[in-house]
């Protein structure tokens, strides 16, 4: 059975090699949808009887891994020419994430999938995909 949960975060980034305006510092209201697969729990009397995973538990994993670390932050490729400027901002208390990839929607979907997979597998839940809306009409989906 496949179930999904969405959360939203606000995050800035830039795409340094972009030939248009995305090379500039900017931000998005990202919507992140996670799809998980598992068997419906049939244990009589279990608090999760009839569920694959409690939606609240899935949301908690997403909030602890994605929201806590990326919401209201700026995410920058660690080899970006501006990284030294952002290191200084980070030292002054700004929430900056340096990642080993250009922070496109595609790469973020893959990254968040890889961060969530171990947490969900502890509960014997198989993560199927992470879908990232960068805008209301543009998505990237990573399927593991």
Phi, psi torsion values for 50, nearest 5 degrees: 90, 0
| Whether 106 is catalytic | no
Look at residues 113, 6, 1, 10 and name the one whose alpha carbon lies nearest to residue 55.
6
Q: What is the CATH number of the domain that holds 24?
A: 3.30.479.10
Residue 77: pLDDT over 90: yes
Calculate the average pLDDT of the chain.
Answer: 96
| Whether 28 is catalytic | no
Residue 110: pLDDT over 90: yes
Catalytic residue of the set 22, 28, 33, 60: 22
DSSP 50-100: T-SS-HHHHHHHHIIIIIHHHTTEEEEETT-TTHHHHHHHHHTT--EEEES
Which residue range(s) make up the domain with 31? 2-143
Bridge partners for 35 per DSSP: 4, 129
In the chain, the number of structural domains is 1
Burial class (CB in 10 A: 0-12, 13-18, 19+), 62: buried
Provide the terminal-to-terminal Cα distance of the chain, rounded to the nearest Å. Answer: 17
In this predicted model, what pLDDT tens digit does every residue of 37-69 receive, in sequence order? 999 999 999 998 999 999 999 999 999 999 999
pLDDT of the residue at 144: 85
DSSP state of 36: E
Catalytic residue of the set 18, 72, 88, 143: 72
DSSP 90-116: HHTT--EEEESS---HHHHHHHHHHHH
């Amino acid at each position: 059975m496949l179930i999904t949960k969405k959360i939203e975060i606000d995050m800035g980034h830039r795409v340094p090699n972009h030939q248009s305006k995305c090379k500039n510092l900017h931000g998005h209201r990202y919507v992140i949808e996670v799809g998980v697969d598992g068997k419906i729990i049939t244990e009589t009397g279990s608090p999760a009887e009839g569920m694959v995973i409690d939606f609240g538990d899935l949301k908690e994993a997403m909030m602890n891994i994605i929201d806590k670390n990326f919401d209201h932050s700026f995410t920058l490729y660690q080899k970006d020419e501006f990284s030294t400027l952002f290191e200084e901002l980070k030292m002054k208390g700004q929430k900056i994430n340096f990642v080993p990839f250009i922070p496109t929607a595609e790469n973020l979907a893959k990254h968040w999938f890889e961060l969530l997979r171990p947490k969900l597998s502890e509960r014997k839940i198989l993560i199927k995909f992470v879908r990232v809306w960068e805008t209301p009409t543009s998505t990237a989906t990573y399927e593991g």
